[in-house]
Amino acid sequence: MGYKHQTNPIQVPVPGGKTIAEHFGIPSTGSSEVSIAYMVAPAGWGEPFQKPKFDEWTLMVRGKQQIEINGENLILSAGESLLVEKGTNVRYSNPFSDDAEYWSICKPAFSLDLVNREPET
């Protein structure tokens, strides 16, 4: 066939009101090579620290996101992008008043077995 036209991304349920529409990845296409997902994190959203076994690229579309990386705070704004390499201690959150809209690309594909999240506190 030579291509895959994704017209029905998988909606992944996430606590805290964040929405994930996975276009390519394990649940949507069965591929563990890469995952590509469109996300919207509401104001006040956050997740625990993690040390994933995948590289993750974040491309901000709208709003801002706070990313804590190895003890450093970084603010990623619309139009900016970031690569967090596998094995890095990272925490993603949106402590701001507007939603954060972004794309996430993980290689290999995101999976709960590879994310290594710390327990919720």
**5-54 confidence digits (pLDDT tens):** 999 999 988 888 999 999 999 999 999 999 999 999 999 999 999 999 99
- In the structure encoding, which two tokens stand for residue 3, read together? 């291509």
**What is the rounded CA–CA span in Å between residue 8 and residue 18?**
19
Report the amino acid identity of residue 86: K
Of 103, 71, 69, residue with least CA distance to 86:
69
| Domains annotated on the chain, with CATH | 11-110 (2.60.120.10)
- State pTM to two decimals: 0.92
**What is the rounded CA–CA span in Å between residue 73 and residue 59?**
17
